Amino acid sequence: MGDPSGSPFFIGATMFNIQEKHTLSGDLMHETRTQDVTNLLKYTHEAAQSAPSFSGEAAWRHVGEIPMVIYEQWLAECGAAAGSPEAAAYVKQKLQSGEFSKFLVKGY
């Protein structure tokens, strides 16, 4: 568990199951992206019960898992690049809001 790159948050890269649907409406093409997060939610629940609060020499904490489609939506909302300090701050804000508490393992 955890992100060896030192990123302040870990994107659930092992749990992608993204479906894309494209529809045409006149001259416009609409893309809808969905992701089945059932396994991700099960994993975060189990990890919250068993993961240590801090691990290893760096004493990192597994904050949570964010579905890629949600992360992409948050990046669009805040206008920040993936991995930027601005994106990290926005992700932290969203995770602490309570609305996305099921994505948390140990939290901030």
Q: Give the model's pLDDT for residue 93.
A: 95
Instruction: Please tell me whether the overall predicted TM-score, pTM, comes out greater than 0.85 for this model.
Output: no
Q: Give the model's pLDDT for residue 8.
A: 39
Cite the DSSP H helix spans in 1-98.
Answer: 38-50, 68-78, 85-96
Q: Give the model's pLDDT for residue 42.
A: 87
pLDDT over 60 (residue 82) = yes
Over range 74-99, report the average pLDDT: 95
Q: What angle do CA 45, 66, 106 make, to 5 degrees?
A: 45
Structure confidence by residue, pLDDT tens digits, 41-79: 888 888 888 876 666 655 677 788 899 899 999 999 999
- Please enumerate in sequence order all residues whose Cβ is within 8 A of that of 87, keeping only pairs 6 or more positions apart, or say none: 74, 75, 78, 80, 81
Query: Is 54 in contact with 108 (CB distance < 8 Å)?
Result: no
Higher pLDDT, 56 or 40: 40
Question: How far is the C-alpha of 50 from the C-alpha of 73, rounded, in Å?
Answer: 29
Q: Sign of torsion, CA 79 10 63 20?
A: positive
CA-nearest of 73, 62, 82 to 35 is 73
> What are the sequence ranges of the domains in the chain?
13-103
83: left (phi over 0), alpha (psi -120 to 50) or beta: left
